[in-house]
Structure 1
Amino acid sequence: MSQPGQAPQLRQKDPWYAPISVDMILKVLNITLLHPFVAWIIPLCFRAEHQAWDTPPMLVSIAWATLVTLAYVANIVSHKLAYGMHREVDLSEEVIVVTGGASGLGLLIAEVYGMRGATVAVLDVADRLENTEARGITYYKCDVGDKKRVQEVAAEIERDLGTPTILINNAAQVIGKRLLDMSIEEAERSLRTNLLAHFYTIKTFLPGMLQSQTGGTIVTVSSVLGTLGAAQLTDYTAAKAGVAALHKSLAAELRASAPEVKMVLVTPGQLGTPLFEGVDQPHSFLAPVVEPVDVAREVIKAVDLGISDHIGMPLYARWIDWYNVLPVGLQRLVRDFSGIDRGMRTWVGRSGGAEKKGEKPI
């Protein structure tokens, strides 16, 4: 704050290169040089200039276009082999349940489907939606970590809206304390919300999907931290690791018995939501903060297409399993360089740091 008599200080703007990240560069490449359509335009342009077929520029461009096309086709085949065929999705017939949908990523997804005319039920512990003008959403106050309450709300949804066919497990809670500073009650509450709630909701809503003629979709929002771990997030990372394992195990069970139920696993990096307000960003170029709207777009795309998928954002989240292949010394250097174990020191969260101070969050 400026002193009396002094000119007010202007908010320092981010440098022009701040939005540039490896993800943005890859996104540009994916719609240009790494896209088959664009790749084949290059030899066509050479041919339009009357280049002979056996000239080096023509041969190189054709080889590149062929390689890009083969990689593109191989990716499609790989996805089909891994996840099978898609299911038919008719939003007018779907009932969508979003947990933790009163704000952040969950609310974005719920709002989009609500505006598109789908039947949407949001479950959250908040008194109301953050956006009170959201359309097409039926709100149920529910602690998804309470299995009895989940069953009660499920009966209400069945009565009010119909049988849910799409479940988006998004609810999350962060305690933000070191293990020795965390009470057992806090750890149990975190694990109920971040892990056990997935068991409760899936056990409650999956039977209805199995009875549906068109199947259903289960979206599991985990985190890249479930693989990496991080200081002051012992409860959260343990739960997210469990959630990812639950998702993969359930997908294996359903692959043979109920292939019409699709499974979408989401493992984002640092999300720009109030849940992680104040967390120090590790590296803006290699590990940019992921905007909820970008994750919501990918989740909605997978649900609309009726496919199973693994959504990892930003780029490093898709390759994070290779981290464990590195020599342990190199792993330590990577952690120190990224600052992953220092990020929570500045965390305040959606409650303004109340839980970190031992106070009851608002």
Structure 2
Amino acid sequence: MNIIFDLLQVVVIIIYSYLEALVKLFIPVKRKSVSGETVLITGAGHGIGRVTAYEFAKRQSKLILWDINKHGVEETAEGCKKLGAKAYSFVVDCSVKEEIYAAAEKVKREIGDVTILVNNAGVVATADLLSTKDEQIQKIFEVNILAHHWTIKAFLPAMMESNHGHIVTVASAGGHVTVPFLVSYCSSKFAAVGFHKALTQELAALGKDGIKTSCLCPVFINTGFVKQPRSRLVPILEPEKVANALMDGILCNQKMIFVPPFVKFNLLLERILPERALVALNKMLRIDFDAVVQGEKKKD
């Protein structure tokens, strides 16, 4: 009888969830305030990290900015200060666990506990697998997923003690759908998406409902991260658009943030279309970028 009761309870929750989603289409979701929150952003010296820092600065958060590029991260900090926010810059190589832990201790000692953590730092190698150097593959995983473990192990205990915080995983649409010549990158982003989902479930199991999680999954962004991205149908996004979507998702405690939203439809197609149809769809999309293939620069 217990299993029948549990099944009925699940059905009721499913119906309620769909009705709630329908209501939210017409009634805006209440946004939380991040004023006064202490926000740490990795990879803040350029691109999405920089623009996201500016969005938090506009909302009077306290910014802690990490990047391997000293000039870039200091420039971001100055921009945040001009917007009226307190900002602190740190030069940190997120591929080195010891640097992460040392910087984290310094942050906690000199500034205080982090309440919003944005794991944004990332690296990529655009090449076929055999042309990708071993050290490139290792660094991709060190920065794109292992660093998330070290930053969260450093800052999560204080969030758990107060049952308050927000952890943001910057992943990619490449963490859900694959692209040739980005094998290591896509693998690391699949890991990041899985990490976000598992961490979210673990926090729920521990009863830490005050710690929210969000995962950002955009398509190609015009930051120079991937050289000359192009596609027949998939848009190349500007950093400001992605940062705005991320901020909106954080303020609404959105779990998975797809930019543009139609990426969710692609995920559905991957599950229902036969393989031959998926190959034809990929050919139609013509997703392309500068890459090294078999030791030489790929030609269109």
Question: Shorter chain as normaliser: what TM range?
Answer: 0.7 to 0.9
Residue in structure 1 matching 2:52, options 76, 85, 109: 109
Q: Deviations along 1:277-328, whole A, 9 cap, x unmatched?
A: 312x112xx42112221221122223334x2421101133122321322100
Where 1:121 maps in the other structure, the secondary structure is strand
Decide whether aligned partners of structure 1 residues 239 and 161 sit closer, same or farther in structure 2, where only a CA change above 3 A counts.
same
Query: Within 1, Cα distance between the matches of 2:268 and 2:18?
Result: 22
Matching residue of 1:138: 88
Decide whether aligned partners of structure 1 residues 212 and 180 sit closer, same or farther in structure 2, where only a CA change above 3 A counts.
same
Query: Within 2, Cα distance between the matches of 1:90 and 1:300?
Result: 10
Q: Deviations along 1:243-281, whole A, 9 cap, x unmatched?
A: 0011001111112321111011111111121212312x1
Is 1:118 the counterpart of 2:61? The answer is yes
Equivalent residues in 2 for 1:187-266, closer than 5 Å: 187-213=137-163, 215-257=164-206, 258-266=208-216
Aligned residues with identical type, % of pairs: 27
Residue in structure 1 matching 2:114, options 164, 169, 178: 164
CA contact (8 A) 1:87 1:260 kept: no
Query: Within 2, Cα distance between the matches of 1:71 and 1:147?
Result: 40
Q: Which runs of 5+ in 2 are unaligned?
A: 1-15
Decide whether aligned partners of structure 1 residues 116 and 316 sit closer, same or farther in structure 2, where only a CA change above 3 A counts.
closer
Query: Within 2, Cα distance between the matches of 1:192 and 1:230?
Result: 21
Query: Within 2, Cα distance between the matches of 1:226 and 1:301?
Result: 21
Decide whether aligned partners of structure 1 residues 347 and 261 sit closer, same or farther in structure 2, where only a CA change above 3 A counts.
same
Matching residue of 2:249: 302
Matching residue of 1:336: 283
Where 2:237 maps in the other structure, the secondary structure is coil
Q: Deviations along 1:19-69, whole A, 9 cap, x unmatched?
A: xxxxxxxxxxxxxxxxxxxxxxxxxxxxxxxxxxxxxxxxxxxxxxxxxxx
Residue 144 of structure 1: CA displacement?
1.4
Query: Within 1, Cα distance between the matches of 2:20 and 2:193?
Result: 26
Letter in 2 for 1:322: L
Is 1:129 the counterpart of 2:75? The answer is no
Letter in 1 for 2:263: A
Q: Which runs of 5+ in 1 are unaligned?
A: 1-69, 80-84, 349-355, 358-362
Decide whether aligned partners of structure 1 residues 76 and 197 sit closer, same or farther in structure 2, where only a CA change above 3 A counts.
farther
Is 1:95 the counterpart of 2:29? The answer is no
Bigger Rg, structure 1 or 2: 1
Q: Number of paired residues?
A: 268
Letter in 2 for 1:238: S
Matching residue of 1:150: 100
CA contact (8 A) 1:145 1:197 kept: yes
Residue 206 of structure 1: CA displacement?
1.1
Residue 152 of structure 1: CA displacement?
0.5
Query: Within 2, Cα distance between the matches of 1:294 and 1:72?
Result: 28
Is 1:312 the counterpart of 2:244? The answer is no
Letter in 2 for 1:202: I
Where 1:128 maps in the other structure, the secondary structure is helix
Letter in 1 for 2:150: Y
Where 1:278 maps in the other structure, the secondary structure is coil
Deviating above 4 A after TM superposition, structure 1's stretches of 4 or more consecutive aligned residues are: 70-73, 76-79, 85-90
CA contact (8 A) 1:272 1:292 kept: yes
Matching residue of 2:9: none
CA contact (8 A) 2:34 2:60 kept: no
Query: Within 2, Cα distance between the matches of 1:245 and 1:304?
Result: 22
Letter in 1 for 2:182: L
Query: Within 2, Cα distance between the matches of 1:154 and 1:76?
Result: 42
Query: Within 2, Cα distance between the matches of 1:140 and 1:76?
Result: 44
What is the aligned-residue RMSD (CA, Å)? 2.8
Residue in structure 1 matching 2:129, options 179, 195, 209: 179
